[in-house]
Amino acid sequence: MMVTAPYGGEGRRAQRRFPGEPGQVKAVRQWLAGVLPPGCPVLDEAILLANELAVNACQHTASGKSGGSFQIIVQVDDTAIRVEVTDQGSAIAPRLQDSDLEEESGRGLQLVDGLATQWGVTGDHTSRTIWFELVLGEREF
Ligand SMILES: Nc1ncnc2c1ncn2[C@@H]1O[C@H](COP(=O)(O)OP(=O)(O)OP(=O)(O)O)[C@@H](O)[C@H]1O
Ligand SMILES: [Mg+2]
Protein backbone atom coordinates (compact mmCIF):
# COMPACT_ATOMS: atom_id res chain seq x y z
CA MET A 1 0.00 0.00 0.00
CA MET A 2 1.24 3.45 -0.80
CA VAL A 3 1.46 5.81 2.11
CA THR A 4 2.39 9.42 2.24
CA ALA A 5 5.97 9.75 3.37
CA PRO A 6 5.64 11.04 6.93
CA TYR A 7 8.25 13.75 6.66
CA GLY A 8 5.59 16.24 7.63
CA GLY A 9 5.09 19.93 7.33
CA GLU A 10 7.51 22.02 5.41
CA GLY A 11 10.33 19.57 5.43
CA ARG A 12 13.62 19.87 7.16
CA ARG A 13 17.10 21.02 6.42
CA ALA A 14 20.43 20.02 7.88
CA GLN A 15 23.92 21.15 7.10
CA ARG A 16 27.39 20.30 8.24
CA ARG A 17 30.97 21.13 7.28
CA PHE A 18 33.53 18.32 7.08
CA PRO A 19 37.33 18.47 6.88
CA GLY A 20 38.41 17.55 3.36
CA GLU A 21 40.15 14.35 4.32
CA PRO A 22 39.33 10.96 2.82
CA GLY A 23 38.68 9.57 6.31
CA GLN A 24 35.81 12.02 6.69
CA VAL A 25 33.78 10.35 3.99
CA LYS A 26 32.67 7.71 6.45
CA ALA A 27 31.51 10.48 8.78
CA VAL A 28 29.48 11.88 5.88
CA ARG A 29 27.70 8.56 5.40
CA GLN A 30 26.97 8.21 9.10
CA TRP A 31 25.72 11.77 9.38
CA LEU A 32 23.40 11.34 6.39
CA ALA A 33 22.01 8.11 7.76
CA GLY A 34 21.08 10.01 10.92
CA VAL A 35 19.69 13.07 9.17
CA LEU A 36 17.44 11.28 6.68
CA PRO A 37 14.12 10.04 8.03
CA PRO A 38 13.98 6.44 9.23
CA GLY A 39 12.67 4.24 6.44
CA CYS A 40 13.46 6.85 3.80
CA PRO A 41 12.98 4.94 0.52
CA VAL A 42 15.97 6.58 -1.13
CA LEU A 43 18.35 6.35 1.83
CA ASP A 44 20.80 4.00 0.15
CA GLU A 45 20.92 6.00 -3.07
CA ALA A 46 21.32 9.28 -1.20
CA ILE A 47 24.23 7.95 0.84
CA LEU A 48 25.86 6.35 -2.20
CA LEU A 49 25.71 9.53 -4.25
CA ALA A 50 26.70 11.86 -1.41
CA ASN A 51 29.65 9.55 -0.77
CA GLU A 52 30.82 9.97 -4.37
CA LEU A 53 30.48 13.75 -4.23
CA ALA A 54 32.36 13.92 -0.93
CA VAL A 55 35.17 11.78 -2.36
CA ASN A 56 35.31 14.06 -5.39
CA ALA A 57 35.52 17.16 -3.20
CA CYS A 58 38.50 15.62 -1.38
CA GLN A 59 40.20 14.27 -4.51
CA HIS A 60 39.61 16.93 -7.12
CA THR A 61 39.27 20.30 -5.34
CA ALA A 62 40.99 22.62 -2.90
CA SER A 63 38.82 21.08 -0.19
CA GLY A 64 41.30 18.21 -0.16
CA LYS A 65 44.27 20.46 0.55
CA SER A 66 45.64 20.96 4.05
CA GLY A 67 43.04 22.76 6.15
CA GLY A 68 40.41 22.39 3.43
CA SER A 69 36.79 21.47 3.99
CA PHE A 70 33.49 20.89 2.22
CA GLN A 71 29.91 21.46 3.27
CA ILE A 72 26.83 19.32 2.81
CA ILE A 73 23.27 20.56 2.94
CA VAL A 74 20.36 18.12 3.00
CA GLN A 75 16.76 19.15 2.47
CA VAL A 76 13.91 16.73 2.90
CA ASP A 77 10.21 17.17 2.27
CA ASP A 78 7.27 14.95 1.47
CA THR A 79 8.21 14.52 -2.16
CA ALA A 80 11.97 14.57 -2.52
CA ILE A 81 15.33 14.88 -0.93
CA ARG A 82 18.00 17.26 -2.13
CA VAL A 83 21.68 17.01 -1.26
CA GLU A 84 24.23 19.73 -2.02
CA VAL A 85 27.98 19.29 -1.64
CA THR A 86 29.93 22.54 -1.76
CA ASP A 87 33.68 22.38 -2.26
CA GLN A 88 36.46 24.95 -2.34
CA GLY A 89 36.91 24.88 -6.08
CA SER A 90 39.40 23.74 -8.68
CA ALA A 91 40.63 24.96 -12.04
CA ILE A 92 38.94 22.04 -13.80
CA ALA A 93 35.18 21.67 -13.63
CA PRO A 94 33.36 18.40 -12.93
CA ARG A 95 32.69 16.45 -16.09
CA LEU A 96 30.51 13.47 -16.69
CA GLN A 97 32.63 10.92 -18.48
CA ASP A 98 31.31 8.65 -21.19
CA SER A 99 30.29 5.34 -19.81
CA ASP A 100 32.84 2.72 -20.61
CA LEU A 101 32.85 -0.53 -18.73
CA GLU A 102 36.62 -0.77 -19.08
CA GLU A 103 37.26 2.51 -17.28
CA GLU A 104 38.16 2.36 -13.62
CA SER A 105 37.51 6.03 -12.99
CA GLY A 106 34.71 8.32 -13.98
CA ARG A 107 32.17 6.24 -12.08
CA GLY A 108 31.15 8.80 -9.48
CA LEU A 109 29.29 11.23 -11.69
CA GLN A 110 27.97 8.37 -13.81
CA LEU A 111 26.30 7.02 -10.70
CA VAL A 112 24.88 10.45 -9.91
CA ASP A 113 23.63 10.82 -13.48
CA GLY A 114 22.12 7.35 -13.48
CA LEU A 115 20.39 7.38 -10.11
CA ALA A 116 19.45 11.00 -9.39
CA THR A 117 16.16 12.39 -10.63
CA GLN A 118 18.00 15.63 -11.35
CA TRP A 119 21.49 16.91 -10.66
CA GLY A 120 23.69 19.82 -11.55
CA VAL A 121 26.66 22.01 -10.81
CA THR A 122 26.79 25.67 -9.84
CA GLY A 123 29.69 27.94 -8.95
CA ASP A 124 33.14 28.44 -10.42
CA HIS A 125 36.81 27.71 -9.78
CA THR A 126 36.63 29.28 -6.31
CA SER A 127 33.79 27.07 -5.06
CA ARG A 128 31.35 24.69 -6.69
CA THR A 129 28.19 23.06 -5.50
CA ILE A 130 27.25 19.71 -6.96
CA TRP A 131 23.64 18.94 -6.09
CA PHE A 132 21.23 16.10 -6.72
CA GLU A 133 17.61 15.34 -6.02
CA LEU A 134 15.92 12.02 -5.50
CA VAL A 135 12.16 12.20 -5.93
CA LEU A 136 10.25 9.79 -3.74
CA GLY A 137 7.53 9.46 -6.38
CA GLU A 138 5.90 6.09 -6.61
CA ARG A 139 8.29 4.35 -4.26
CA GLU A 140 6.76 2.34 -1.48
CA PHE A 141 7.55 3.70 1.90
N1 LIG B 1 33.82 18.72 -7.28
C2 LIG B 1 34.58 18.68 -8.39
N3 LIG B 1 35.26 19.78 -8.80
C4 LIG B 1 36.02 19.76 -9.91
N5 LIG B 1 36.14 18.69 -10.71
C6 LIG B 1 35.49 17.58 -10.37
C7 LIG B 1 34.66 17.50 -9.19
N8 LIG B 1 34.13 16.26 -9.14
C9 LIG B 1 34.59 15.62 -10.21
N10 LIG B 1 35.41 16.38 -10.96
C11 LIG B 1 36.04 16.05 -12.24
O12 LIG B 1 35.14 15.24 -12.95
C13 LIG B 1 35.75 13.98 -13.25
C14 LIG B 1 34.72 12.88 -13.15
O15 LIG B 1 34.37 12.64 -11.78
P16 LIG B 1 33.92 11.18 -11.37
O17 LIG B 1 33.60 11.18 -9.93
O18 LIG B 1 32.88 10.73 -12.33
O19 LIG B 1 35.20 10.30 -11.67
P20 LIG B 1 36.56 10.18 -10.85
O21 LIG B 1 36.44 10.87 -9.55
O22 LIG B 1 37.66 10.61 -11.77
O23 LIG B 1 36.69 8.61 -10.62
P24 LIG B 1 35.81 7.68 -9.65
O25 LIG B 1 34.72 8.54 -9.09
O26 LIG B 1 35.30 6.59 -10.54
O27 LIG B 1 36.79 7.20 -8.62
C28 LIG B 1 36.92 13.86 -12.29
O29 LIG B 1 37.96 13.09 -12.82
C30 LIG B 1 37.34 15.30 -12.10
O31 LIG B 1 38.20 15.71 -13.14
MG1 LIG C 1 34.82 10.44 -8.29
Ligand 1 contact, 107 CB (< 6 A):
yes
What is the total count of domains within the chain?
Answer: 1
Q: What's the CATH number where 92 sits?
A: 3.30.565.10
**pLDDT for res 4:** 40
- Say if 1 falls within a structural domain: no
Domain region containing 48: 12-135
| Ranges of the chain with pLDDT below 70 | 1-10, 101, 138-141
Measured in angstroms, how far is the CA atom of residue 139 from the centroid of ligand 2?
28
Q: Is the CB–ligand 1 distance for residue 54 below 6 Å?
A: no
Q: Determine, yes or no, domain membership for 2.
A: no
Identify the helix (H) or strand (E) that includes residue 20: none
User: 11 alpha carbon to ligand 1 midpoint, in Å?
Assistant: 31
Tell me if the pTM is above 0.95: no
Ligand 1 in reach of 49 Cβ (< 6 A): no
Asked if residue 48 belongs to a domain, the reply is yes
